[in-house]
Amino acid sequence: MERVICRRDPGTGAELADSDLHPLLARVYGGRGIRSTVELDLGLERLLPPANLRSVDRAAGLLADALAEQRHILIVGDFDADGATSTALAVSALREFGAHHVDYLVPNRFEYGYGLTPEIVALAARDHPDLIITVDNGISSLEGVIAAREAGIATLITDHHLAGRELPAADVIVNPNQPGCGFASKNLAGVGVIFYVMLSLRAELRRRGWFEHRKEPNLGRYLDLVALGTVADVVPLDHNNRILVAAGLARLRAGQGRTGIRALLEVAGRPHRNLVASDLGFALGPRINAAGRLDDMSIGIECLLSEEPGQARRLAATLDQLNKDRRNIEQGMQEEAMQLLAKLDIGSDNDPPVAMTLYQAGWHQGVIGILASRIKDRLHRPTIAFADGDAGEIKGSARSIPGIHIRDILDAVATRHPGLIHKFGGHAMAAGLTIGRDHYPDFARAFVEEVSRHAEDVHLQAVIESDGELDPGDFQLELATELRFAGPWGQHFPEPVFDGRFLVVSQRLVGDRHLKLVLSPPGGSQLLDAIAFNIDLDRWPDERVGEVDVAYRLDVNEFRGQRSVQLMVEHIRPA
């Protein structure tokens, strides 16, 4: 779909204007709601203290008792990058604190599904754990916690997902989004929550004199895991999360990251010295996620836990290959999805339906979430992609757009049409569900009807938010470098995007579908390299086009030791 460019309001941050910041950077920060330079201070001393995280002190006491008595602790994680980093952090930190019996278990998404289910508890009970700690899951595991209690296993839930109407009857719950929690940042990822639990545990162990005869762990060593999981889970980068991510990136840039992450950077071809948050989100996160999507997330966890370089490189290479396999599977599914969309005759004069559902026998369960996200981005419509599940069932992965709360939509469909949805869960922008295969046509109609009821006040055209135009003198390597490292950029704190009109000096196709351009700003003499990825081959290249309107990021290109300014094109159209 054609996208609309809207310019951000730079705000009225007088203190920023009076600071030593470059005026452009002050404008960018103002457009993201920053009003004071205090909000730009990312020192760890600015990190919110654990005290206001509800029940974190009780969690620390429970864990300290478990350490004192050397109880058997089992970490139950999730099968995504946040779950993997959370699991690796919990296992590593508890072992460093002195726990002798710490293991982990991650449900296989194809056999057990998500979270602490009774089936997972039964599997865990074979090893007779005394305490189960969930990381990045558990807040909705009502039946699983009951099963654990019946098996005589204590439970500590650490999660960040929204709580339902009823909380599990766990021994302790730590979740900034549980009712009654006064923690100021509701945006912690699962790995951030377990990091805070470990901070509180260390304080409790200090109080008990635990470190009088033991070395006290430096929990700063785990911030690379926190940064990776936080960025990969696409949680909003509020001030507290930016502190955590910035600290983790600083460790990685200094070459102090854990062995497994360094191995992942190596296979991804990302030099650690120039690392930014997007490298974690687009290079490392997908490689870890590929293990949970196609195989077994323990491969990713073992890579993160590995301290032996050779083993870490082998595991990283396996993850890299799984990611390549995932891309191939996804590409095939996208082609099939495009064929399904083609039957809808969605062209320049025909808007797509208000919501999309897609199902094809043979699609891979582990990749439908990515497929739904790709279609959602392409059409700017809430989208659900389905794959075959258990006998007679299909499983769906839903992705939404701003203004359409996808979990509430599914809840409304389930209320209006009892029995149509077997089970569902999720949040505003993403959800999962299971329905009967024979019910797919009825569900597709009900889903579109329900979205239509909520879409009247929703902008159904994709919008690119721009920080405005750049002056010809702004296309400088020094400024591009400053912008690159002025984040960390991410969800709700996006990397700066600018827009403007340019003269087209040259254009050519590179790779399968990438457009390489040389542009010149009107009124300037500069020649600027630019690249647009995954362009529409029916429209580009077009030698008839002499001027273009472009939305772009100002970036730094490094090639054979030479650094130069490059425009990363987000949107392009003939002027």
Q: What is the CATH number of the domain that holds 441?
A: 3.10.310.30
8 in any annotated domain: no
> Are both 187 and 263 inside the same structural domain?
yes
Do 225 and 371 lie in one domain? The reply is no
Vertex 77 angle, CA 290 and 181, to 5°: 125
- Answer yes or no: is 203 within a domain: yes
Q: Are residues 140 and 238 in the same domain?
A: yes
Short-list 112, 109, 111, 153, CA closest to 129: 153
Mean pLDDT in the chain?
A: 92
Over residues 399-428, mean pLDDT: 90
Residue 395 sits in the same domain as residue 309: no
For position 14, what pLDDT does the model report?
64
Distance CA 2, CA 475 (A): 27
List the CATH number of the domain containing 157.
Answer: 3.90.1640.30
Distance CA 133, CA 90 (A): 9
The answer to whether residue 450 sits within a structural domain is yes
Helix (H) or strand (E) holding 157: strand 154-158
Rg (CA), the chain: 25
* Whether 391 contacts 368, CB under 8 Å: no
Find all residues with CB under 8 Å of 112, minimum gap 6, and list them.
Answer: 119, 120, 123
Contact 190, 82 (CB under 8 A): yes
Helix (H) or strand (E) holding 132: strand 131-135
Q: Which of 127, 23, 14, 25 is nearest to 76 (CA)?
A: 127
Taking only the tens place, the pLDDT of each residue in 230-271 is: 999 989 999 999 999 999 999 999 999 999 999 999 999 999
CB atoms within 10 A of CB 402: 11
Q: Are residues 450 and 471 in the same domain?
A: no
Most confidently modeled range among 30-34, 144-148, 542-546: 144-148
Measured CA to CA, the distance from residue 49 to residue 65 in angstroms comes to 22
Amino acid type, 334: Q
Is the pLDDT at 560 greater than 90? The verdict is: no
d(CA 511, CA 19) in angstroms, rounded, equals 44
The domain containing residue 139 runs over which residues?
51-319
- What pLDDT was estimated at residue 533? 93
Mean pLDDT in residue range 535-555: 93
Say yes or no: 416 and 377 in one domain: yes
- pLDDT at position 524 over 80: no
Look at residue 347 and tell me whether its pLDDT is greater than 60.
no
pLDDT greater than 70 at residue 13: no
Start-to-end CA distance of the chain, whole Å, equals 17
pLDDT computed for residue 1 by the predictor: 58
Residue 486 domain flag: yes
CA neighbor of 132 nearest in space, from 111, 108, 106? 106
Q: What pLDDT does 76 receive? A: 96
Work out the pLDDT band at 279, boundaries 50, 70, 90.
Answer: very high
- Which whole number is the average pLDDT over 120-126? 94
Together in a domain, 413 and 482: no
Tell how far CA 302 is from the center of its chain. 20
Residue 101 has pLDDT above 90, yes or no: yes
Task: Work out the pLDDT band at 490, boundaries 50, 70, 90.
Answer: very high
> Rounded distance, CA 258 to CA 124, Å?
28
Do residue 130 and residue 262 come from a single domain?
yes
- Which residue in 487, 502, 559 sits closest to 532, CA to CA? 502
Domain count, the chain: 3
Boundary of a domain, candidates 431, 454, 477: 454
CB atoms within 10 A of CB 50: 21
Mean pLDDT value of segment 394-412: 92
In the numeric block, which tokens belong to residue 38?
């205090």
Q: What percent of the chain has pLDDT over 90?
A: 77
Query: For residues 384, 388, 394 and 398, what is the CA-based torsion angle, rounded to 10 degrees?
Result: -20
Grade residue 522 by pLDDT with cuts at 50, 70 and 90.
confident
pLDDT in tens, 348-400: 456 788 999 999 999 999 899 999 999 998 899 999 999 998 889 999 999 99
Least confident of 137-146, 281-290, 344-353, 456-465: 344-353
Name the domain boundary from 388, 422, 454: 454
- Over 90: is that where the pLDDT of 511 sits? no
Residue 338 maps to a domain: no
pLDDT tens-digit series, residues 312-341:
999 999 999 999 999 999 999 989 998 888
User: Which phi and psi angles does 465 have, rounded to 5°?
Assistant: -85, 125
Taking 80 as the threshold, does the pLDDT of residue 18 lie above it? no
Q: How confident is the model at residue 462 (pLDDT cuts 50, 70, 90)?
A: confident
CA dihedral 82, 88, 89, 94 (to 10 degrees): 150
- One domain for residues 513 and 415: no
Q: How confident is the model at residue 4 (pLDDT cuts 50, 70, 90)?
A: confident
**Domain co-membership, 94 together with 229:** yes
Q: Is the pLDDT score of 551 beyond 70?
A: yes
> pLDDT tier at 345 (50, 70, 90 boundaries)?
low
Among the residue ranges 12-26, 29-43, 173-187, 440-454, the one predicted with the least confidence is 12-26
Shared-domain flag, residues 206 and 277: yes
Q: Does the pLDDT at position 58 exceed 90?
A: yes
pLDDT of residue 12: 63
Co-location of 229 and 369 in the same domain: no
Q: With contact defined as beta carbons under 8 Å apart, do 66 and 99 qualify?
A: yes
Do the domain assignments include residue 336?
no
- At 114, the pLDDT band (50, 70, 90 cuts) reads confident
Q: Using CA atoms, how far apart are residues 85 and 91, in angstroms rounded to an integer?
A: 10
- Find the mean pLDDT for residues 185-204: 97
Determine, yes or no, domain membership for 419: yes
Answer whether residue 175 shows pLDDT above 70: yes
> 568 exposed, middle or buried (CB, 10 Å; 0-12, 13-18, 19+)?
middle
Mean pLDDT of 9-32: 84
d(CA 561, CA 567): 19
